[in-house]
Every structure is written in C-alpha cells, then in structure tokens.
C-alpha cells in the first residue's frame, strides 16, 4: 500500500507535476486549504482529505511586472494576478497568452500546467500559469 500523502506544500507541487490541482479539506470543519496544511487554522484539526480543485476561475486583481527578479527578467513585462477558483479558493499566478492591455478584473481564466524543470537546486517545484478561455 502506498504511503499516505502528507498535507504539505511539497506534496501540493508533486500533485501539480501530475497535472492535478489538489487542496486539503478539513474533515472536521470542511475548510479547503490551498496550500494544504498539517493543522487546520480554523478548527485546529489534523484530519484532512485530498480534494481536486476546479482549474477555472475569475481574476480578482492583477499587476504588470516591469522590474522583475533576475530569473524572470527575460519575460518582463508580464502579468500576475490573484484568481478565485470556481469553489471560492484563491490562488496567485502568472497570466499568459493574452495581450497585457486586454487583461481585466473579472475576466475568466483557466490553469495551464508547465513542464517541470529539472535542476539541482532547491526547490524543484513545477510551475503553472493562467490563460483566458
């Protein structure tokens, strides 16, 4: 039998590498955590189950980054925003495949998984972004 999966950020990204967006649902109070946590901040329970989260949502707010950190400099200017998924859970991410001047608060977006990059450095988390549909 497979080891039970820990409700951790590391496991969240392992799921992303399988192209799955998964949250941790508290078995006691029902709160869905993204990222998953080992201790429910609402009711202090440690009992969770994995739930698959909707990959579609709407844009709550955004910015266009012009001055970027070193590793993102080649992409600048680029858009990032906070997306509210269809079940109400919020997640930040880059917004791509749309002209920057066409981005609007309230627009519908869906998640796209990116191929994992294999480097020696920590962390080896795969990335995702959002695009219109």
Partner 1 sequence: MKGKPLASIVSAGLSKFGKLEGLYAREIFAQAAKEAYERCPKLDPKKDIKALFIGHMGESYEHQGHTGATAADWAGLLHIPATRTEAACSSSGAALRAAIFAVASGLCDVVMAGGVEKMTHRSTPEVTEFLAMASDFPFEQWHGITFPGLFALMATAHMHKYGTTEGQLAHVAVKNHYNGSLNPKAHMQKEITLEQALTSRVIAWPLKLYDCSLITDGASCLILTRPEIAKRYTDTPVHIIGSGQASDTIGIYERDDFTSLKAAKIAAKQAYEMAGLTPEDIDVAEVHDCFTIAEIIAYEDLGFCKPGEGGKLAEKGETTLKGRIPVNTSGGLKAKGHPVGATGTAQAYEIYLQLTGQADKRQVADAEIGLTHNVGGSGATATVHIYRRG
DSSP structure string for 46-84: --EEEEEPPSEEEEEEEEEESS--GGGGGG-SEEEEEEE
Taking the CB of residue 33, how many other CB atoms lie within 10 A of it? 20
Residue of 5, 14, 58, 78 that binds partner 1 (CB under 8 A)? 78
Stretch that binds partner 1, among 15-23, 24-32, 45-53, 79-87 (CB under 8 A): 79-87
Q: Which of residues 46-75 bind partner 1 (CB under 8 A)?
A: 60-70, 72, 75
Q: Does 91 bind partner 1 (CB under 8 A)?
A: yes
Q: Are 19 and 115 in contact (CB under 8 A)?
A: no
Residues 6+ apart with CB under 8 A from 72: 65, 78
Output the smallest distance, CB 131 to partner 1, in A.
14
Q: Does 6 bind partner 1 (CB under 8 A)?
A: no
Q: Does 32 bind partner 1 (CB under 8 A)?
A: no
**CA 50 – CA 63 distance, rounded (Å):** 31
Site residues, partner 1 (CB under 8 A): 9, 13, 35, 60-70, 72, 75, 77-78, 80-82, 90-94, 105, 123, 125, 127, 129
């Amino acid at each position: 039998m497979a080891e039970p999966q820990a409700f951790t950020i590391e496991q969240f990204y392992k799921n992303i590498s399988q192209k799955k967006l998964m949250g941790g649902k508290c078995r006691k109070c029902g709160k869905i955590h993204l990222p998953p946590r080992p201790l429910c901040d609402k009711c202090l329970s440690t009992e969770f189950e994995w739930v698959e989260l909707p990959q579609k949502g709407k844009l709550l707010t955004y910015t266009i980054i012009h001055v970027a950190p070193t590793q993102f400099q080649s992409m600048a200017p680029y858009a990032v925003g906070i997306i509210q998924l269809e079940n109400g859970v919020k997640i930040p991410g880059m917004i791509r495949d749309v002209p920057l001047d066409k981005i609007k608060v309230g627009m519908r977006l869906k998640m796209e998984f990116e191929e994992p990059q294999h480097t020696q450095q920590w962390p080896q988390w795969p990335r995702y972004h959002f695009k219109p549909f």
